[in-house]
Structure 1
Amino acid sequence: MSTGNLHGVVNLDVAGATISRHLYGHFAEHLGRCIYEGFWVGEDSPIQNTAGVRDDVVQALKEISIPNLRWPGGCFADEYHWMNGVGPREERPSMVNTHWGDVVEDNSFGTHEFMQLCELLGAEPYVSGNVGSGTVAEMSDWVEYLTRSGDAPMSRLRREHGRTEPWKVPFWGIGNEAWGCGGNMTAEQYTQLASQFATYTRNHDGNELYRVAAGPNKDDYHWTETLMKSISALGGPVADRKHNGWQALSFHYYTHASDDWQHKGSATEFDAEEYHRTILNAWRIDEIVRGHARVMDAYDPEATVGLVCDEWGTWWDVEPGTNPGFLFQQNTLRDALVAGLHFDVFHANARRLVMANIAQTVNVLQAMVLTDGAKMVLTPTYHVFAMNAGHQDATSHPVQVVSSDARYRGEVGEYATLTTSVSSREGSALVSLTNLDASNGGTVRLDLRGRDWQVATAKILAAPSLQAHNTVQDPSAVAPVAFDGARREGDALVVDLPPHSFATVELTLG
């Protein structure tokens, strides 16, 4: 049984935390067809490209204001040795990608190609360094190669490879999933290494690194506490980041329809029970973010250390007939609703959560775009990013819930079906709303106080079924359209949402 009404109050004259644009970050790993065929087709490809990077994908991502891109992994990062991916492509040694399909990687897409991609996208690079099988010296040299000018050894090598000026690289990952594919370490083992590796990833020529320690899997709060204790144990204020060298810690969380890792469920063929289990699991992101934030607050009440969710999204069984190691899955309206829910959670926790990276950008897991040769399809999840772009770097305004009977109650559990968030910038505000109810419409009533306002425009993302998805044959099966379900009643914004839908309402502020 479901009901669907939410009444909330929003004070538009009271500023909450800034919603960092980096919460809308992306992730591109050497996995399946994400890099090769997805981003990189080579200069000689008949697919339109700029220096080997396909133009249609770049343009699509620029239109959603992609703020950062994480690379080269993922699990791949901790077996990647960057020196194999620089210099003339025909001279680069190959390697075996043991994690993803056991295929041979020829390293034709390496450091220079990635940095060029970021420049084309207008995105800031987030490089994941190799802690699992790499050395401190190797990571230190990579930072020097990327960011130092002058006559340093790595600067000279970079110039020999055709790049005179150093790049700006703001984000640096100190390994990946050290608890698993990044080394199967304990929290205590990794904490010692994180301090050592971070110490030798130095700031060169004004490039200030924001170092991200590899944090826990899901709700492993012990891992987070171990990292945070390592700061306080050294003495001095937490804000003095010179103590341990890293400025943030990450965690990963994926959403499935099943607790069986080997059978996560189909991306497109799922029933009502699987949908409800999916949303129950998606809601766990709120519990997990708040849990890590509580641990961090105990050691860092001023929130000087950032929390990063640099892998999130839905993970289904691969599409039939595709390589199991390539993680190619379709993307339905269900995935879009999971994204809408995640963003409302991210916005509500913007004080501590500083970055998030959906997995992954092209052709892998919950992708923005799917490619088929020269053709490209925008996914329902892409449209959520596009509709929510106005939240990037905007001021959040917390929604104080007065009452809500919008809940699903069933055999698999119980969850809230209506969720919303509000932000503003200059003379406008953006309200995003998600109705997770599979069968029933819902009404959101927000009393907007402290500013004059008017409804400007509204859009909705919906479809006849939760299983609806876009294909080359039908690329607009799930696409945003103008929405007439938002209106002003007195001082309240009232939005009537159909079942399983995501909407945004833009307001003009006086």
Structure 2
Amino acid sequence: MNHIVVPAIINLDVKGPVISRHVYGHFAEHLGRCIYGGFYVGEDSDLPNAGGIRLDVVDALRALNIPNLRWPGGCFADEYHWKDGIGPKDQRPVMVNTHWGNVEENNHFGTHEFMALCELLGAEPYISGNVGSGTVQEMSDWVEYLTREGDSPMVRLRKANGRDEPWRVRFWGLGNEAWGCGGHMTAQQYAAEARRYGTYCRDHGGNRLYRVAAGANSDDYAWTETLMKTLGDLGCAYRPQPFYQALSLHYYTIPGTWDDKGDATVFDTDDYYRTMVQAARVDELLTGHSTVMDCYDPGRNVGLVLDEWGTWWNVEPGTNPGFLYQQNTLRDALVAGLHFDIFHRHAGRLVMANIAQTVNVLQAMILTDPDSGALVLTPTYHVFEMNKAHQDAASLRVDIPSGVPGREVGTATLRTVSVSASRKDGRVLVSMSNLDAGEAVDVELDLRGGAVTDVHARILTADRPQAHNTPETPDAVAPRTHQQVTATAAGLRVHLPAHSFVTVQGRLA
């Protein structure tokens, strides 16, 4: 059978910006069963745990080389008061999670438990502070409690709670979605707050904070410009003030409406293509916000952090609508693969990204069954695992001179082939997605400036985009060795079946 052939040129000897490992970051909010029943099952659980932290979840995430974990929110962060979550658990006050289900929480998972989780994961903590309902002193005290050594009121409090040595916590979010659930502020209001909070979140000892200002929603470029103006003047002599070191951005892939986002597993081909068009829009948004930032910061000293991204569907029938529990199909995995290709192209500005969310919420890596305790790895999990060699690798530019095949989807054109590549430690990784729901394609990799040996390819696909994993069929969508890769005079020819994600890895000769 003849297939469309797409030639792609990769210059192996021309390194681009390094792809930060932190764009493979994760997000864990006090929402539904992400923390309680996901990461944290309590010390009395029959499931293997360390201090209540579920160990099979830890093992699964360690296999991804998880680089960071954002916590405690999300919207929850701006109603969370950290001192309620320290000290003896039986003395911690119960709080109401007003954003997500109006449920009561016992605060058994707090600062020390989160830091223990990060240590088990080998991940850097990324803490979102409370700007919406908190105070400057509250966040300043939290930084001191976690990171200061010597003697001070917060150091003494930490030691009284069983931790003598400080932790290293670089990443701090100055609130979350200040334009919405984080306070419904204007850009000007929030910019003033970010300057104030950034000032009093201090560097203690050798711990240097990387402060992330709560940035824009989707295409609100004016919000980004306001925050950039707050850091300094327009022009090439731009030297940013040290109030914050990065701006965040939030963008979710929602092909339906806010009130009816669509079903996670029941969808047709038109729904599938609309989803891919919305996912591809993240390239436009990263380009737009980066362009605004470039005007003020041509040296790219200020980072861009996409700390909430992913698909958002209607909740699964019969589940609490405030818990945002959804299944995860091959379609979600292809959304993730497309996002990562785009992230790699924006490596010069994009310093971190955090999928929403890690366990049991939205586009999760892991689903846990509340009755049987079974753990399921989602198709999206497998994309993270297949792509992990891109972390901290030098990006390689991919040129497709004849153009990429496309499909008309409403008024948009979806480019149905996506490719990215990187090199590190003498090895090359090429990631490819065929987003066409029905047609296969061959990609001919023209590898210049070097040769690749010891080639190994893997594929993630299924008979249909709706395929997903369950406790009964945990490997319905799982990676396997891909045999349809052949050597050519110029490099490699890789066959991509319809709706498939493929990685090819090899050694630089």
Letter in 2 for 1:286: D
Q: Match of 1:201?
A: 201
Choose from 289, 294, 297 the match for 2:294.
297
What are the residue-to-residue correspondences of 1:171-210 with 2, within 5 Å? 171-210=171-210
Supply the AA of the counterpart residue of 2:230: S
Q: Deviations over 1:60-86 (max 9, x none)?
A: 000000000000000000000001001
Letter in 2 for 1:422: A
Relative distance call for 1:4 and 1:321 in structure 2 (3 A) is farther
3-state DSSP of counterpart to 1:183: coil
Q: Distance in 2 between matches of 1:206 and 1:405?
A: 48
The answer to whether the 8 A contact 2:234-2:296 is kept is: no
- Other-structure match for 2:303: 306
Aligned to 2:229: 229
- Is contact 2:451-2:491 (8 Å) kept? no
How far off is 1:412 after superposition? 5.8
Tell me the alpha carbon deviations over residues 382-435 of structure 1, each in whole angstroms, 9 at most, x when there is no partner.
000000000000010010221134111244632100001010012210000001
Secondary structure of the equivalent of 1:443?
strand
Q: Where does 1:244-393 land on structure 2 (aligned, <5 Å)?
A: 244-258=242-256, 260-373=257-370, 374-393=373-392
**What is the match of residue 460 of structure 1?**
459
In structure 1, how many angstroms separate the alpha carbons of the residues matched to 2:147 and 2:77?
19
Count how many residue pairs are aligned between Structure 1 and Structure 2.
Answer: 505
Tell me which residue corresponds to 1:499: 498
2:211 and 2:161 mapped to 1: Cα distance? 26
Partner-residue secondary structure (3-state), 1:15: strand
Residue in structure 2 matched with residue 15 of structure 1 by the alignment: 15
CA distance in 1, matches of 2:30, 2:304: 25
Pick which of 112-121 and 447-456 moved more: 447-456
Distance in 1 between residues matched to 2:316 and 2:21, nearest whole Å? 32
Q: Which moves more between the two structures, 450-459 or 481-490?
A: 450-459
Letter in 1 for 2:103: V
Moved more, 484-493 or 390-399: 484-493
Q: Can you give the 5+ residue segments of structure 1 that lack an aligned partner in the other structure? A: none
Gaps of 5+ in 2: none
1:72-129, Cα deviation, whole Å (9 max, x unpaired): 0000000000010011111011111010000011111000000000000000000000
Q: Distance in 2 between matches of 1:6 and 1:201?
A: 51
Question: Is contact 1:16-1:396 (8 Å) kept?
Answer: yes
Q: Check the 8 A contact 2:232/2:296 in 1, yes or no.
A: yes
Secondary structure of the corresponding residue to residue 399 of structure 1: strand
| Partner SS state of residue 477, structure 1 | coil
- CA drift at 1:447: 1.0
SS at match of 1:6: strand
Instruction: Note the C-alpha offset of 1:244.
Output: 4.0
Shift of 1:452: 2.1
Change over 3 Å in CA distance of 1:56–1:428 after alignment to 2: same
- 1:489 is matched with 488
- Asked whether the equivalents of residues 69 and 126 of structure 2 are also in contact (C-alpha less than 8 Å), the reply is yes
1:487 Cα shift?
1.9
Residue 398 of structure 2 is aligned to residue 399 of structure 1: yes
SS in 1 for 2:322: helix
- Aligned 8 A contact 1:4 1:407 in 2: no
For the residue of structure 1 that corresponds to 2:310, the secondary structure is strand
Paired amino acid for 1:223: W
User: How many angstroms apart in 2 are the aligned matches of 1:128 and 1:90?
Assistant: 25
CA distance in 2, matches of 1:388, 1:411: 31
* Structure 2 match to 1:508: 507
Deviations 1:433-461 (A, max 9, x none): 00100000011122111112125210000
Aligned runs of 1:108-187 on 2, under 5 Å?
108-187=108-187
- Provide the C-alpha distance between the structure 2 equivalents of 1:215 and 1:176, rounded to a whole number of angstroms: 8
User: Is 2:65 the counterpart of 1:33?
Assistant: no
* 8 Å contact from structure 2 (residues 236, 296) kept in 1: no
Q: Given the alignment of the two structures, is residue 100 of structure 1 paired with residue 100 of structure 2, yes or no?
A: yes
> Secondary structure in 2 aligned to 1:216?
strand
- The 3 A distance-change label for structure 1 pair 274 and 129 is same
1:346–1:408 Cα change, 3 Å: same
Paired with 1:501 and 1:294, the residues of 2 have a C-alpha distance of 32
Conserved in 2, the CA contact under 8 Å of 1:455 and 1:488?
no
Q: Distance in 2 between matches of 1:235 and 1:281?
A: 33
Cα distance in 1 for residues equivalent to 2:393 and 2:138: 38
Note if contact 1:459-1:503 (Cα within 8 Å) is conserved in structure 2.
yes
Checking the alignment, whether the CA contact within 8 Å between 1:211 and 1:246 is kept in structure 2 is: yes
- 1:477 and 2:476 aligned: yes
Report how far residue 486 of structure 1 moved.
Answer: 1.7
Partner of 1:426: 425
The superposition leaves residues 28-61 of structure 1 with CA deviations (integer Å, 9 ceiling, x where unpaired) of: 0000000001000111110110111001000000
The one-letter amino acid paired with 1:451 is G
Comparing 19-28 with 369-378, which one deviates more in the overlay? 369-378
Once residues 234 and 134 of structure 2 are traced to their aligned partners in structure 1, the CA distance between those partners, rounded to angstroms, is 26
Partner of 1:89: 89
- Tell me the residue number matched to 1:215: 215
Q: How far has the Cα of 1:252 moved from its partner?
A: 0.3
Quote the sequence identity (%).
62
Distance, in Å, in 2 between the alignment partners of 1:133 and 1:237 is 37
The DSSP-based 3-state class of the residue aligned with 2:29 is: coil
CA contact (8 A) 2:253 2:312 kept: yes
Aligned to 1:350, the other structure's residue is in SS state coil
- Once the two structures are TM-superposed, the CA of residue 305 in structure 1 deviates from its matched residue by 0.3
- Structure 1 distance, partners of 2:423, 2:215, is 32
Q: Which amino acid aligns with 2:35?
A: I
Provide, for residues 110-153 of structure 1, a one-character-per-residue CA deviation record: whole Å limited to 9, x for no partner: 00000000000000000000000010000000000000011110
Tell me the SS of whatever aligns to 1:211: strand
Question: Which residue identity does 2:355 align to in structure 1?
Answer: I
1:277–1:412 Cα contact (<8 Å) kept: no
TM-score, structure 1 as length reference: 0.97
RMSD: 1.3
Contact 1:268 1:332 in 2 (8 A): yes
Partner AA of 2:145 in structure 1: Y
